[in-house]
Chain A
Amino acid sequence: MQVSAYLIVSALLFTIGAVGVLVRRNPLVMFMSIELMLNAVNLSFMAFAHFLNSVDGWMFVFLVLTVAAAEVVVGLAIIVSIFRSRHEIDVDDLTMLKG
């Protein structure tokens, strides 16, 4: 198989994720979309690693997975604490950072 096939799938996944982040208002769904984008990148890393026969890509994938896991933990904790205090988690209502 050509590397382009993997890349097309990766690009599609990434676009779905990006659109998801942009259009959804539920932070949980946005989170999932971000994970989708990360995994799209992982996919292209793996594809290149395979076709270039290098371990560098593997290393980055592991790094991304670890960071993603950590990020999910922190993110979910934030979402839970926001939900506890405000009883709703629509991101458009969370504008405390407005300058």
Chain B
Amino acid sequence: MVNLTPFILLLPLVGFAVLGLVGRVLPRAAISLIGCGVVLAAFVLAVIDFFSMLGVAPEARFSDVLPWTWVTSGSVTIPFGLLSDPLSAVMLLIVTGVGFLIHVYSIGYMEGDPGYWRFFSFLNLFIFAMALLVAADNFLMLLVGWGGVGLASFLLIGFWYTRPSAVAAARKAFVVNVIGDFGLLLAIFLIVKDFGTLQYIPLIVHPASAGTALPSLPLPFPDATAIALLLFVAAAAKSAQLPLHVWLPDAMEGPTPVSALIHAATMVTAGVYLVARASAIFTASPTALAIVGIIGGATAFMAATIACVQTDIKRVLAYSTMSQLGYMFMGEAAGGFSGGIFHLTTHAYFKALLFMAAGAVIHALGGEQDMRKMGGLRGRLPQTFWLFVIGGLTLAAVFPLSGFWSKDGLLSAVLEKAQTGGGTGWYVLYAVGLFTAILTGFYIFRLIFGIFFGRYRGGAIAAHGAAPAKRGGTRDPLANVHEVGAAMMVPMVVLGILSVIGGFYGTPWSDWIGQFLEPVTHTTNTGIAPGNGLFWLAFVLGLVTGPIGIAIAWARYAQREPRFGASRNPLVILLQHKYYIDELYDAVIVVPIVSLGVFWRIGLEGGFFEGGSLGLGHLVGGISRGLRRLQTGYARNYALAILVGAALLLVYYVIHP
């Protein structure tokens, strides 16, 4: 088996460096060629790696490359190593594959932006960091990739850096992600403390034990719950789970390809990857898994409810992403680690497709993102419409699209967990999952009907690059609206096809991906088996929930003129304000910290320390002014003082011989 991982990393890094240093002077075609070329090459290498991996026995599918020692200190040695195993192979395929498609899409989307070279440079940086994240062979290198994707996300959210809202969103995303880095750091410290190594092999992955239920981690090992929860803090920050989700909706300030690549398909799924990677640690702590399940379920539900009332089409998709990530964590918490990764792959297809399609709409409407100003675009943008519908149906988990299989697998794992003695809580979680599935169908079709059905509610759209059309003759405000070019359309079509067929490698009858990942994830729960009595009930429930949601959306938004926005319903207002969580954080965290800093600046720095040192100075000065009077300037006074002093000394020594 070959291990080309170092080159998979190197190619986008070279692309980043070249575009970053000389991109400014390169022609657009060269930038596109370099930017997309390196990712395509990396994808080809990942495919070669993948197929060569398929050629060997499951227990031999591990290959560690150790280019150099990162640091050695005392008994701790941390190499810079790259691991090629089934999990990293799947992740690399998604990252480079979907990444390449989005690079191509960006050629069209970013056309005409003055920062074109910068954009591709940052995208390549992202691909490099994400590849490092998934290919690292130890937790520290994972952290390096983890920080790197955070940086790329920061740079790309704030890509239009003269927009104050984008700048603020970028900062928020970075700071919240640093909270996750903090958790990961502490987890790493605990792991080093307990085991003295950070390597996946032999710490949490044992190739020799492939096929057995669990790696031979000493169980129960100390601090399992603490390590697992700290890792989950990192995962929650990166994957926008409660209560660290606040950055993701704001991150939609970035260009749409960024939202598709980073904030839907790849980076935000890093948390799901981390939990699957550290499955041995999580499995060792039922408490941690229960908390992961609760957080995942709560996020899935809460984000779906918010998505039902948002009017910015990208924000709807952002909340949808949060919700889907919640699903993945729910499934992983039940022990379905490979199911989480499976949903990660299908989600990468359909959510990237939805974002791209939304980008195509935004592009066509000259930057408009508010669906209150859309409507009736079906005729103008037929291809985009159909792709959007495919994405929407997949998201709503309609049979037999890929989303159906992967989401069904996750919910089935939760039910299996409840069945096999997980406790009533898991039944509740399952019910939440089902209800969220109805909400999912509702909000995504509310979006689709809002954009493409009814009458157009916005203003006139100017032609690209032209002043707002004032010419007479065209009454139609959508005269200048047309489908996007091939560069944007082809990637969408590819993803549309993947969304449709991408689920067949993980059905309950033939769970190929689960078996492929088994040596790494040691999945304890692959869902309810087809022979089980509950199987068909669960299957049917999974079958109908999405369509129910779609039907409600149809009734509300396609049958009559939809009304978005203003409502006096307190529940709707609560949802429109996203449960007031941003406001709560501002009041409880940001304001107190800043106030404390200001108070210290004025009170301590300006008052105590400044006043203290100046006061000391004044005190010494005052004493000196008093003592100054002793200096009369008469030489004979000084002489007398010396004499008296000498005489006193003499007397002293005479008295005390």
Contacts and interface: CB of A to CB of B under 8 A. Distances in A.
B653 interface: no
Contact of B633 (A22, A23, A25, A98): A98
Contact of A18 (B630, B633, B635, B643): B643
A91 B634 contact: yes
Interface string B615-657: 0000000000001111111111001100100000000000000
Contacts of B640: 22
Nearest to A24: B636
Task: Bin the interface of chain B by size.
Answer: 10 to 19
Nearest to A95: B633
B639 A98 contact: no
Contact of A95 (B628, B630, B634, B643): B634
A97 B631 CA distance: 7
A22 B631 contact: no
Which residue among B627, B629, B634, B640 has the maximum number of chain A CB atoms within 10 Å of its CB? B634
A99 B630 contact: yes
Contacts of B633: 94-99
B628 A92 contact: no
A36 interface: no
B630 A21 contact: no
Contacts of B627: 99
Interface residues of A, number: 14
Contact of A99 (B629, B635, B639, B643): B629
Interface string A1-41: 00000000000000000100111010000100000000000
A22 B628 contact: no
Nearest to A94: B635
A22 B630 contact: no
B635 A98 contact: no
Interface in B576-601: none
Interface in A74-95: 91-92, 94-95
A31 to B, nearest CB: 11
B632 A98 contact: yes
A22 B628 CA distance: 22
B299 to A, nearest CB: 76
B631 A21 contact: no
A18 B639 CA distance: 9
Contacts of B635: 30, 91, 94
Given A22-B639, A22-B643, A99 B634 contact: no
A21 B636 contact: yes
Contacts of A22: 636, 639-640, 643
Which residue among B627, B628, B639, B643 has the maximum number of chain A CB atoms within 10 Å of its CB? B639
Nearest to A96: B633
A94 B634 CA distance: 7
Interface of A: 18, 21-23, 25, 30, 91-92, 94-99
Given A91-B635, A94-B635, A98-B632, 20 more contacts: A21-B639, A22-B636, A22-B639, A22-B640, A22-B643, A23-B636, A25-B636, A30-B635, A91-B634, A92-B634, A92-B636, A95-B632, A95-B633, A97-B631, A98-B633, A99-B627, A99-B628, A99-B629, A99-B630, A99-B631
12 contacts: A21-B639, A22-B639, A22-B640, A22-B643, A23-B636, A91-B635, A91-B636, A92-B634, A94-B633, A95-B632, A99-B629, A99-B630
